[in-house]
Amino acid sequence: MKVGIVGAGMVGSSAGYALALMGIVSSVVLVDHNAELAIAQAEDIAHAVPFMSSCVVEAGDYDRLSGASVVILAAGVSQKPGETRLALLERNAAVFRDVVGNVLRVAPDAILLIASNPVDIMTQITVRLSGLPAAKVIGSGTILDTARFRSLLGRHLGISPQSVHAYVLGEHGDSEVLAWSNARAGSLSLAGFAAQVGSAITADVRARIDDGVRNAAYKIIKGKGATYYGIGAGLARIVKAIAQDQQEVLTVSMVNREIEGVADVALSIPRVIGATGIMTDLFPDLDAEERAALHRSAALLKATVEAVSL
Ligand code: ADP
């Protein structure tokens, strides 16, 4: 399977690196308006391949995306320290006006996987610009927030993140919703598991985990300027679900017909991902507080996307 990546900066190249090392696709093509950067990234990633897998990694112009099954859109301007994701919007919308048309010209059947922030808004903008069905325009959404939530819960409970089932819903950003009420560890409720291992989830623990998930990106950006390894691996995980038709449940963003009374808005809920993109949406059981928070997240995103003129 061929995967294109438009935007060979930190996020795009990290996704390419993860894809190449995982050995799940046969070809990765990097495109960037900085052609020299794309070539350098492709060469650097290609040099890692012989140690791990077999995958052809190249750089090129848009024509090289012909035949790609998935194209990751990671082009744009990066988040500056202290800048909210929503403040990036206008700058990245202009980039997408250029990128989406160019991709569709050569790869009209590709599934588009959106990574640029603010990712929910960029996902909705891409649907508008492309005219593609919503299920073929997937935003990385809260895939990483969900991974952080599971990882912090697992660390507290002393089990692997893979043994925790917990989801972060809504916006990939400040208004995201940690779905505590339906989180499970092993086959148990969180409280039941915590009681058995003697690691109670107190209000303090809960607040610390919430902060660790919600503010992770800000902390990483403060320390190193950008976040990219985590999301690079998350993007590769989504591609794997498509490439291997896995029917994997992942929290990703997509334009939803309606979420908690808000129509036509992109945000994350758990969804089944397979060969044709998003196969099924799953609406989790939430308590009243979480439903209200998800409504607020949806309303905020809707107000923002309506303000964007294309
Ligand atoms: P991030 O950390 O989100 O990856 P970067 O700034 O490292 O941010 O990468 C974004 C990449 O997107 C840059 O390499 C930039 O050259 C590229 N880019 C920006 N605008 C366009 C465009 N219109 N077409 C193609 N690539 C673009």
Q: Which atom of ligand 1 is nearest to the CA of 11?
A: 4
Query: pLDDT value at position 258?
Result: 96
CA distance 92 to 251: 23
Report how far ligand 1's centroid is from the alpha carbon of 97 (Å).
14
Q: Residue 219 corresponds to which tokens in the numbers above? A: 């902390």
Residue 74 CB less than 6 A away from ligand 1: yes
- Ligand 1 pocket residue status of 196, Cβ below 6 Å: no
Sequence-distant (≥ 6) Cβ neighbours of residue 14 within 8 angstroms: 228, 229, 231, 232, 233
Phi, psi of 164, deg, nearest 5: -105, 135
Task: Report pLDDT digits (tens) over 174-219.
Answer: 999 999 999 999 999 999 999 999 999 999 999 999 999 999 998 9
32 lines ligand 1 (CB under 6 A): yes
Could you tell me if 130 and 112 are in contact, meaning their C-beta atoms sit under 8 angstroms apart?
yes
Q: Is 172 a catalytic residue?
A: yes
Whole-number Å distance, alpha carbon 131 to ligand 1 midpoint, is 23
Query: Does the annotation place 14 within a ligand binding site?
Result: no
ipTM of the complex: 0.98
Q: Is the CB of residue 40 below 6 angstroms from any atom belonging to ligand 1?
A: no
Judge contact between 133 and 143, C-beta under 8 A: no
**How confident is the model over 36-85, as pLDDT tens digits?**
999 999 999 999 999 998 999 999 999 999 999 999 999 998 777 887 76
Tens digits of per-residue pLDDT, 81-130? 887 766 778 888 989 999 999 999 999 999 999 999 899 999 999 999 99
pTM of the full predicted structure? 0.96
CA of 60 to the centre of ligand 1 (A): 15
215 is in an annotated binding site: no
Q: List alpha helices for the chain, DSSP H.
A: 10-22, 35-52, 89-106, 119-130, 143-157, 190-197, 203-214, 216-224, 229-243, 288-307
